[in-house]
Amino acid sequence: MRFRPTLSERGRHFITEIAIVVVGVLIALAAQQTVDSLNWRAQLREFREAVDVELAHDFAVLDHRRAQQPCVLRRIDELERWLTSWRAGKPVALAGPIGRVPGMSLRTGIWSVRSDSLMLHMPLRQRVAYSRAYDQLANVEQIRLDERSVWRDLADFDGAAELDAAAQMRLRGLLTRARNYAEVILLNADGSLLVAQQMGITPKLDAAVPPARSVICDPIMPAAR
């Protein structure tokens, strides 16, 4: 006599097969999630390493600018005395070029190509820290460009043999702006370097971009008496 499973036995067998399939699907999903999580972690680690190198360079650029502040202020003082000599009718000849504020461009390329998906997998605290750092750098970069523009205009006075009233007024305005930018950029550089310290990033210039020497530290006026 041939054995035939009862209806309840067939039901239990069907449920068992369904359960096996469901468990298999869940295991596969869990395994895929684990793989995806490991992939995102690897991408985040590589991204953070690249961004940290980029920020280290940018912070080092600001640190270098901060170190040049005494030369910048001394040059402004010299040009103030030069202008005063013209207004007093006893012009003093400059002994060298006015120069410009030494500086290097900030880098934001790595951060600018970040993807929304990657940011969603980055912890909120890290996203806030990086966004804050780059916002600060963007502000400094605008000030740096404005300051560079002023010093380019000041370079127009190199070799000047005559300063009429209009030229003296223009020089006066440029020197005022140069001093203001020097003060503002120093405050912002200090703020950015504080952010670097809080993030545990040590400023380090890219070895391929050594800081260029500027003549702005070379005296161009006799010492003030």
Burial tier of 200 (Cβ tally within 10 Å: 0-12, 13-18, 19+)? exposed
Taking the alpha carbons at both ends of the chain, their separation in whole angstroms is 126
pLDDT at residue 60 tops 70: yes
Tell me, what's the pLDDT at 30? 62
Residues 1 and 168: their CA atoms lie apart, in Å, by: 121
Tell me, what's the pLDDT at 221? 86
Buried b (16+ CB within 10 A) or exposed e, 2-36: eeeeeeeeeeeeeeeeeeeeeeeeeeeeeeeeeee
Tell me, what's the pLDDT at 173? 97
Residues 141 and 79: their CA atoms lie apart, in Å, by: 25
The helix/strand/coil state of 167 is helix
Determine the Cα angle at 51 with ends 45 and 54, to 5°. Answer: 145
Cβ–Cβ under 8 Å, residues 81 and 221: yes
pTM listed for this prediction:
0.79
Who wins on pLDDT, 29 or 204?
204
The tokens of 142 are what? 């605008």
The overall average pLDDT reported for the chain is 86
The helix/strand/coil state of 141 is helix
Tell me, what's the pLDDT at 10? 60
Confidence of residue 121 (pLDDT cuts 50, 70, 90): confident
Q: Cβ of 118: how many Cβ atoms within 10 Å?
A: 13
The tokens of 204 are what? 């380090």
Confidence of residue 137 (pLDDT cuts 50, 70, 90): very high
Confidence of residue 102 (pLDDT cuts 50, 70, 90): confident
Which amino acid belongs to residue 68? Q
